[in-house]
Amino acid sequence: MLALDPAFLAVQALSGLSSASSLFITACGLTIVFGVTRIVNFAHGSLYMIGAYTAATLVPRLLELSFGPVTFWAGILASAIIVGLIGVIIEVLLLRRIYGAPELFQLLATFGIVLVVQDLVVQVFGPQDILGPRAPGLRAPVEILGRRFPSYELVLIAAGPIVLGLVWLLLRKTRFGVLVRAATQDRDMVASLGVNQALLFTGTLFLGAFLAGLGGALQIPRVSANTGMDLSIIAEAFVVTVVGGMGSVPGAFLAALIIGQLQAFGILIFPKSTLVVVFLLMAVVLAIRPHGFFGRAEIVGGTHAVGIASRSPLPGRHFILLVVIAVLAAFPLVADAYLLKVATEILIFALFAFSLQLLIGVGGVVSFGHAAFFGLGAYGAALAVKWYGVSMEAALPLGLALAALGAGLVGAFVVRLSGIYLAMMTLAAAQILYAVAFQWVEVTGGDNGIVGVWPSSWASGPIPYYLLTAALTVVAVLLLKRIIDAPFGYSLRAARDSESRAEAIGLKVRQHRWLAFMIAGAAAGLAGGIYAFSRGSVDPSLLGISTSVDALTMLLLGGIQTMMGPLVGAAALHGLRDWIMPLTPLWRLLLGLSIIAMVLIFPRGLVGTVRDWWGART
Amino acid sequence: MTLLAVNGLHKSFGGVVAARDVSFTVARGEMLAIIGPNGAGKSTVFNMVGGQLRPDRGQVLLDGQDITHASPQKRFRRGVGRTFQVAQTFLSMSAAENVQMALISCNRQSNGFWAPARERHRDKAVGLLSRVGMAEAADTPCSALAYGDVKRVELAIALAGQPKLLLMDEPTAGMAPRERAALMDLTGSIAEAQGIGVLFTEHDMDVVFGHAARVLVLLRGQIIAAGAPDEVRQDEQVKRAYLGDARALEPLRGGSPA
Position A88 scores a pLDDT of: 95
Dist. CA A485–CA A309, nearest whole Å: 11
Contact of A596 with A106, CB cutoff 8 Å? no
Q: Identify residue A56 by its one-letter amino acid code.
A: A
Between B204 and A480, residue with greater pLDDT: A480
Dist. CA A73–CA A208, nearest whole Å: 19
* Residue A298 main-chain phi, psi, to 5 deg: -60, 125
Q: Identify residue A474 by its one-letter amino acid code.
A: V
Positive or negative torsion for Cα A233, A235, A237, A239: negative
How many Å is the maximal CA-CA distance in chain B? 62
Contact of B5 with B25, CB cutoff 8 Å? yes
Dist. CA A323–CA A320, nearest whole Å: 5
Of A313, A488, A501, the CB nearest to B110: A488
Contact of A98 with A599, CB cutoff 8 Å? yes
Cβ–Cβ gap B82/A504 under 8 Å: yes
Position A96 scores a pLDDT of: 87
- The secondary structure element, H or E, covering residue B20 is strand B16-27
Q: Identify residue A588 by its one-letter amino acid code.
A: R
Dist. CA B209–CA B200, nearest whole Å: 12
- The length of chain A in residues reads 618
- The length of chain B in residues reads 258
User: Which parts of chain A have pLDDT scores under 50?
Assistant: 1, 299-303
The string of DSSP codes covering A222-256 is TS-B-TTHHHHHHHHHHHHHHHH-TT-HHHHHHHH
Per-residue pLDDT of A449-476, as tens digits, reads: 999 899 998 998 899 999 999 999 999 9
Provide the pairing of β-strand B197-201 with B165-169: parallel
Chain A to chain B Cβ contacts (< 8 Å):
112
Would you give the end-to-end CA distance of chain B in angstroms?
36
Dist. CA B234–CA A382, nearest whole Å: 81
Q: Which residues of B touch A505 (CB under 8 A)?
A: 76, 101-102, 105-106, 157, 160-161
Burial (Cβ within 10 Å: 0-12, 13-18, ≥19) of residue A592: buried
Dist. CA A331–CA A176, nearest whole Å: 62
**Cα distances (angstroms) measured from residue A27 to each of A154, A160, A207, A226:** 20, 11, 12, 19
Position B39 scores a pLDDT of: 80
**Cα distances (angstroms) measured from residue B182 to each of B53, B82, B126, B138, B177:** 31, 18, 20, 20, 9
Taking the CA of residue A453 as centre, how many other CA atoms within 13 Å lie in the half-sphere pointing to its CB? 34
**Angular region, B173: left φ>0, alpha ψ -120 to 50, beta rest:** beta
Q: Which residues of B touch A485 (CB under 8 A)?
A: 116-118
Q: List B residues 100-159 in contact with A (Cβ-Cβ < 8 A).
A: 101-102, 104-106, 109-118, 120, 139, 141, 143, 154, 157-158
DSSP-derived 3-state class of residue B222: strand
**Cα distances (angstroms) measured from residue A591 to each of A96, A234, A329, A567:** 21, 20, 31, 18
**Cα distances (angstroms) measured from residue A235 to each of A42, A232, A422, A605, B173:** 9, 5, 15, 28, 45
State the best of A501, A507, A513, A563 to mutate against chain B, taking most chain B CBs within 10 Å.
Answer: A501
How many Å is the maximal CA-CA distance in chain A? 83
Of B105, B115, B116, the CB nearest to A505: B105
Cβ–Cβ gap A485/B116 under 8 Å: yes
Q: In the structure, what pLDDT confidence band is assigned to residue B243 with cuts at 50, 70 and 90? A: low
* Residue A383 main-chain phi, psi, to 5 deg: -65, -40
What would the 3-class secondary structure string for A468-526 be? Answer: HHHHHHHHHHHHHHHHHHCHHHHHHHHHHHCHHHHHHCCCCHHHHHHHHHHHHHHHHHH
DSSP-derived 3-state class of residue B17: strand
Mean of the pLDDT values across residues B175-181? Answer: 85
Q: Identify residue A546 by its one-letter amino acid code.
A: S
Using only C-alpha atoms, what is the Rg of chain B? 19
- Residue B66's DSSP bridge partners are B61
Dist. CA B68–CA B75, nearest whole Å: 9
What share of chain B has pLDDT > 90, as a percent?
41
- A321 CB contacts (<8 Å, ≥6 apart)? none
What would the 3-class secondary structure string for A158-197 be? Answer: HHHHHHHHHHHHHHHHCHHHHHHHHHHHCHHHHHHCCCCH
Q: Which numeric CATH code is attached to A340-617? A: 1.10.3470
Dist. CA B246–CA B236, nearest whole Å: 10
Smallest CA-to-CA distance from A163 within A19, A22, A61, A297 is with A22
Position A420 scores a pLDDT of: 78
- A326 CB contacts (<8 Å, ≥6 apart)? none
Dist. CA B45–CA B62, nearest whole Å: 15
Cβ–Cβ gap B104/A491 under 8 Å: yes
CB of A482 within 8 Å of a chain B CB? The answer is yes
Q: Which residues of B touch A313 (CB under 8 A)?
A: 118
Cβ–Cβ gap A486/B117 under 8 Å: yes
Using only C-alpha atoms, what is the Rg of chain A? 25
Q: In the structure, what pLDDT confidence band is assigned to residue B251 with cuts at 50, 70 and 90? A: low
Question: What DSSP character marks residue A564?
Answer: S
Q: Identify residue B52 by its one-letter amino acid code.
A: Q
Q: Identify residue A388 by its one-letter amino acid code.
A: Y
Per-residue pLDDT of B14-65, as tens digits, reads: 778 888 899 999 999 899 999 888 888 888 898 899 888 889 999 999 998 8
Crossing angle between the packed helical segments A462-485 and A337-357, to the nearest 10 degrees: 20
Smallest CA-to-CA distance from A83 within A229, A238, A251, A245 is with A229
Contact of A155 with A137, CB cutoff 8 Å? no
Q: Which residues of A touch B52 (CB under 8 A)?
A: 500
CB of B41 within 8 Å of a chain A CB? The answer is no
**Angular region, B255: left φ>0, alpha ψ -120 to 50, beta rest:** left
Provide the pairing of β-strand B214-219 with B222-227: antiparallel
CB of A505 within 8 Å of a chain B CB? The answer is yes
Position A298 scores a pLDDT of: 59
SS3 content of chain B, % helix, strand, coil (to 5): 40, 25, 35
Contact of A135 with A72, CB cutoff 8 Å? yes
- Residue B114: count other Cβ atoms within 10 Å of its Cβ: 11
Q: Where are the domains of chain A?
A: 10-229, 340-617
The Cα of A487 is separated from the nearest Cα of chain B by a number of Å equal to: 5
Between A142 and B83, residue with greater pLDDT: B83
Position A305 scores a pLDDT of: 60
Q: Which residues of A touch B103 (CB under 8 A)?
A: none
Query: What strands lie across the sheet with B80-83, from one edge to the other?
Result: B80-83, B165-169, B197-201, B31-35, B214-219, B222-227
Dist. CA A2–CA A9, nearest whole Å: 9
